[in-house]
Amino acid sequence: VGRWTAEENRHGIVLRDYLVVTRGVDPVALEQARMIHMTNGYSTMAVVGDKAPDFDIRTSSSAGFLFSVAYVTFQELATRVSHRNTGRVCDDPLADRMLARIAADENLHMIFYRNLCAASLDLAPDQTIEAINTIVQNFQMPGAGMPGWRRNGVLMAKHGIYDLRQHLEEVLLPVLRKWNIFERNDFGVRGERAREDLAAFLERLRGEVLRFEEQRDRSLARAAKRQHQSV
């Protein structure tokens, strides 16, 4: 975990250095946003704590561990996907190579946490599937709440860096498949309930993906029409 933290900081260093030397962003605005975001802080438990059934943060350190390893498994894979796609749209071979290298690290991070979570599923299937279900249904990236977060999220979705379909098909489903979530037979009553709840959530998400894409296609068509009319 220490090594993971050190590597994440290295990603931050290289991305910031690249943006400063290429004048890619306003470094003062970047630093101000960083100060606001770091001062707000982040906690997986703040996100899921009040939504987790029977969870008491003062007495359940093992449950806290399960939420954390489930969360970082999905979150590291999400960074792998978004860094890789960011490299592609940068239109700069250096940025593409740099982000591919970062994405390779993120993949290793994901595998580490995915293995921990897989072992947890074998040891304590019901507890672990409940944590996974809560995390999947309340998932947010660590950048949530930082200045410009919503606007930037919309831009990322619009340009194919990270959207709802990628979240479902490239992040959630491959990990759940790897853990054999829907084929396991070691769940008790609690675990079965969580698994059914998770399956229903994924079905709703599939519907949202289609609605989002229809909306996006309509807005792109409108923009193309406006451009055509102004020529």
Residues engaged in binding Fe ion (CB under 5 A): 76, 106, 109
To the nearest whole angstrom, how small is the minimum distance from the Cβ of residue 78 to Fe ion?
10
Write the CA distances from 103 to 37, 41, 43, 78, 184, integer angstroms.
23, 24, 23, 10, 30
To the nearest whole angstrom, how small is the minimum distance from the Cβ of residue 109 to Fe ion?
4
Residue 229 identity: Q
With respect to Fe ion, which residue has the nearer C-beta, 81 or 172?
81
The Cα diameter of the chain in Å comes to 66
Distance of CA 9 to the CA centre of its chain: 18
Chain residue at closest Cβ approach to Fe ion: 109
With respect to Fe ion, which residue has the nearer C-beta, 76 or 163?
76
To the nearest whole angstrom, how small is the minimum distance from the Cβ of residue 57 to Fe ion?
24
Query: Apex CA 39: angle with CA 35 and CA 40, to 5°?
Result: 120
With respect to Fe ion, which residue has the nearer C-beta, 100 or 200?
100
Q: Give me the count of residues in the chain.
A: 231
With respect to Fe ion, which residue has the nearer C-beta, 76 or 126?
76
To the nearest whole angstrom, how small is the minimum distance from the Cβ of residue 43 to Fe ion?
17
With respect to Fe ion, which residue has the nearer C-beta, 109 or 114?
109
To the nearest whole angstrom, how small is the minimum distance from the Cβ of residue 191 to Fe ion?
29
Spell out the alpha helix ranges (H) of the chain. 2-21, 27-40, 44-48, 61-90, 93-123, 125-137, 149-158, 164-166, 173-178, 189-230
